Each structure stands twice: as structure tokens, then as C-alpha cells.
Amino acid sequence: MDATAINEPGPARSAASITLENIGKTYPDGTVAVGDFSLEVGAGDLAVLIGPSGCGKSTILRMINRLIEPTSGRILIDGQNILDRNPVELRRHIGYVIQNVGLFPHQNIRTNIGTVPRLLGWDKKKINERADELLELVGLDPSRYAKRYPHELSGGQRQRVGVARALAADPLVLLMDEPFSAVDPIARGRLQEEFLKLQATVRKTIVLVTHDIDEAVRLGDRIAVLAEGGRLLQYAPPAELLSRPDSVAVGDFVGADRGIRRLAVTPLRPALRPVEEGAATDGRPVVEADGTLYDALAAMLAADATEVLAVEDGRPVGLVSRAALFDVPKAFDVPTNEAEAAV
Ligand SMILES: Nc1ncnc2c1ncn2[C@@H]1O[C@H](COP(=O)(O)OP(=O)(O)O)[C@@H](O)[C@H]1O
Ligand SMILES: [Mg+2]
């Protein structure tokens, strides 16, 4: 891309690749928060950074929008070195979502969402339309919520507004630092679910930090497992990380129950056996055919059954047996959430 393309507002381009090349951060007190870290995130992909507290995740994220200046290395967005850019201006093109959102308490929701478009000089009508469009997109009815103030929303709703605000000026990249950690587990599950749908629509290049392996597996196209000092242990799609952790440290990190997690990222469809013409399927527990083996296991356990019936639009399309659950190949080729959705 040319040197000015990154400055252009609007929907001309909606995602960009991110390349981190040997970036490092040593704080003035001598702390090496990140030694030498490299990562490539494809345009439209969601990469998760996960690792123990203090391993440098937030430092890496904040180097991408230059809230923290790296002490070494290069950061490229669509091949352009952003370290040459004015940081304040750069941040207007990079959405940033943090744990407690940081909405402005004395501004209503619509005004909060319009923050960056206002800085970019959009006209008022366009800003309001954009804010309402985004409220719809994150599942909040604008006629009810646009005029409210942040304290009049639940934690989960505020978090959605935070996502809407980050998307307002159609940024090239979205950075999210433990965005769902502060909400209760039930609301978190729902937010994650909605967030996946949103990402399927907007297809941003996202770097998301979490310390929750289930969240990482659920949301990530690829997961980077980090150790202290920002040391990259493994960078792989969820299914591969769970089936082939390439070190003891990663195996420990993804947990002894990774076999069960793996079921949750393994699509059901390839495990289906055809339903024979006229076969009795009554009484069998039912799952959606676009679900995962985890869903099939849950249905079998709940009904104490040895087989479940997979349906599509209410019609039977196949059967899954208990044995199929143990038949997940060690390495298989359905690595990304995207591929899973496309099966
Ligand atoms: N301003 C700072 N000065 C010195 N050390 C810092 C500063 N900010 C963070 N650190 C240290 O850098 C390391 C990485 O921090 P951070 O990136 O926040 O970790 P994480 O997000 O993975 O929990 C930690 O050891 C932390 O104490
Ligand atoms: Mg952090």
C-alpha cells in the first residue's frame, strides 16, 4: 500500500495484515517485558495472545498502537512500518478495547461511539448514523440505548458499546485486551458468541489478549502461547494447539482436559454416518449438524444415549455414535474457526 492509504477513512479497505518483527520492550527500570517477539496475523484473522500474568501480553498489544514504544524491532501494518507514523494519528485507525471499557461517563452512548469519527472530522449526521448502525450490529436497539449514559447499562452492554466505539471509524485493526474478563461467566459466554458473529460480518484483523484458554479456543483463528518475557512457545490454530502441543509447557498450559476442548473445535459433520432410508430415528437426542463433537457428547450424556441424530433445518442428516467421539484424528485439517464455519 502507499504511504497515505492507511490515512484514508471509510470502507475502502476493512482489514490489514499485521507483522511484528523482533519487537522488544525494556522498561527504563531495566525490566525486559518483551525480549524478542515476532508474529504474523493475516488480514481478517483473529489472533489470540495467551500466557501467564506478567508475560508481556499487554505490552505487546500496546506496542501495536504505540501506547508503548518498542525498544527494538519493527511493526508493519499491510507492509508499512507504523513506527514511522504519528502515534496519535495512527491510533485513530486502530480500534482498542480494554477490560473496563473506559466509556466517558458524562457522554451518552451515541456520543461515546462517535469519539473517533468526531476527531476525524466526520459531519454530525454521518456520525449519528454510524453510531446507530453499530449499536444494531452489537445487538443494542439504538432507539432504547443511544441516549442513555454508561451507568444506565449493564457491564455486558457497556462492553458491547466499547466494541462499537472501537469499530466506529472502520479501523484497519482491532486490539482487545481481556475484553470480556470483567463480566460474569454467563454474560461472557453470550458476548463471545455475539462477538464471533460480529467478526464474521466485519472481518477485522484482531489481536485479542486473554488468560482464559477456553476463550482463546473459542475465539481464535490462531493462538499464540507466550511465556515470560514475551517468549513465543507456539502459534497455531486452536485444534492443532490442542491436538499437538509442541512442548510440555504448552501441553500443561492448555490443560489435562484438552481432549474435551478439542471436541469443542471439531466439527460434527465429518463424523456423521448416513441415516438409512426409513430407519427409526424417534427418541434419539438431536443436535444441529453444524455443531461440534462436544455438542454430540453433551447430548449423549444428557439422554444417556449411544447415538445422536444430527439435523439441519429440522431434517435428519446423519447419526453420530459414541465411537466417533474417540475417533478424532490426532492431527486433522480443520484448523480455524473460519474453516469450521465453512464446512
Ligand atoms: N511501566 C512499567 N515499568 C516497568 N515494568 C513494567 C511496566 N509495565 C509493565 N511492566 C512489567 O512488564 C512485564 C509485562 O507486563 P504486561 O505486559 O502488563 O503483562 P501481561 O499483560 O501479560 O500480564 C511485567 O513483568 C510487568 O511487571
Ligand atoms: Mg495484561
Structural domain boundaries in the chain = 5-255, 267-327
pLDDT digits (tens, 9 = 90+) for 81-138: 998 888 888 888 899 998 877 889 999 999 999 999 998 899 999 999 999 999 998 8
Residue 204 alpha carbon to ligand 1 centre in Å: 27
Residue to mutate, 26, 48, 55, 59, ligand 1, most ligand atoms under 8 Å from C-beta: 59
Is residue 55 lining ligand 1, measured as CB closer than 6 Å?
Answer: yes
Whether 5-255 shares its CATH topology with 267-327 is answered: no
Q: Name the percent of the chain lying above pLDDT 90.
A: 52
Q: What is the CATH number of domain 267-327?
A: 3.10.580.10
Q: Which of 267 and 42 is assigned the larger pLDDT? A: 42
Write the CATH number of the domain with boundaries 5-255: 3.40.50.300
The protein residue with its alpha carbon nearest to ligand 1, atom 11, reads 33
Look at 62 and 283; give whichever has higher pLDDT: 62
pLDDT bracket for residue 181 (50, 70, 90): confident
SS (H, E, C) the chain: CCCCHHHCCCCCCCCCCEEEEEEEEECCCCCEEEEEEEEEECCCCEEEEECCCCCCHHHHHHHHCCCCCCCEEEEEECCEEHHHCCHHHHHCCEEEEECCCCCCCCCCHHHHHCHHHHHCCCCHHHHHHHHHHHHHHCCCCHHHHCCCCHHHCCHHHHHHHHHHHHHCCCCCEEEEECCCCCCCHHHHHHHHHHHHHHHHHHCCEEEEEECCHHHHHHHCCEEEEEEHHHEEEEEECHHHHHHCCCCHHHHHHHCCCHHHHHHHCCECHHHCECCCCCCCCCCCCEEECCCEHHHHHHHHHHHCCCEEEEEECCEEEEEEEHHHHCCCCCCCCCCCHHHHHHC
Does the reported pTM lie above 0.85?
Answer: no
Give 47-69 pLDDT, tens digit per residue.
999 999 999 999 999 999 999 99
